[in-house]
Amino acid sequence: MPTALCDAGRSHKLDGLLGFRRAAIAGSIVIPATSAFGGLSENHLMTSAPRLDLRPGVSEPVVLMISRREVEGADLASVLSRLKVFLATREDAWRYRGQMTLVVDGYNNDPRELVDIPEVRALLRRLEAEWPYWAFFFNQVDDSIKLLLSCVAGCRFLGNGAVEMDADLVAGAMARAFSGMNVVFDRFDFPEDELELMSRGFVEVLQQAGMG
């Protein structure tokens, strides 16, 4: 079974976070598990290669915060309940396409990277399986896609964020991601050229991460 090694991305610790917290409150929709913002672990922007024009930027940022309580309680239902609003109307789905950042809250004092925490991996695998629209909403700028797919398609977790990827699992996750995109585009009759742009950007993210 073919494998590849990738770095799942490193999470923010508390020191670099205050600006992010202010920006999130002032300029984005935040969908937290609770009203508290303490203890975020957020993903760094990907800086290994410049972003090309075919990858849409973020103009209406949305932060999906998953709490440590939800992770340790395997409470995916609470997470899914907060995501229903994004498919409630055609306007909402269109406005927030490619705008969502995945954040896991509460692990600042844990020396492990998020991908090295078994409970985080387990919940994110279930999120990928039970919310097939994530690739439509996740942005293509930061490490949200990379973190999720590292949890879903990793076969060995080597520490410090290094993950050995299973090519078959990556292919399966990609197929489900494209299917989820297609469902949203078909449901709301969105333009085909936007689907092509989003799909190409998604593939580019995977290629730059060494997954595609």
> How do residues 2-47 score in pLDDT, each as one tens digit?
555 566 654 432 223 322 332 333 333 444 343 222 333 434 333 3
Whole-angstrom Cα distance, residue 175 to residue 157?
A: 23
Is residue 206 a contact partner of residue 149, using CB atoms and an 8 Å limit? yes
Report the pLDDT value the prediction gives residue 43, as an integer from 0 to 100: 41
Report the pLDDT value the prediction gives residue 180, as an integer from 0 to 100: 98
User: How many domains does the chain divide into?
Assistant: 1
What is the arithmetic mean of pLDDT over 102-123?
96
What is the arithmetic mean of pLDDT over 133-152?
96
Report the pLDDT value the prediction gives residue 3, as an integer from 0 to 100: 58
Is residue 114 a contact partner of residue 120, using CB atoms and an 8 Å limit? yes
Report the pLDDT value the prediction gives residue 128, as an integer from 0 to 100: 98
Q: What is the mean pLDDT of the chain?
A: 80
Report the pLDDT value the prediction gives residue 212, as an integer from 0 to 100: 67
Size of the chain, expressed as the number of residues it contains? 212
What is the arithmetic mean of pLDDT over 146-174?
95
Answer yes or no: is pLDDT of 200 > 80: yes
Domain span at 163: 3-208
Report the pLDDT value the prediction gives residue 16, as an integer from 0 to 100: 30
Answer yes or no: is pLDDT of 161 > 70: yes
pLDDT digits (tens, 9 = 90+) for 37-82: 233 343 433 333 333 334 456 667 899 999 999 999 999 999 999 9
Structure confidence at residue 209 as a pLDDT band (50, 70, 90): confident
Report the pLDDT value the prediction gives residue 27, as an integer from 0 to 100: 35
Report the pLDDT value the prediction gives residue 21, as an integer from 0 to 100: 31
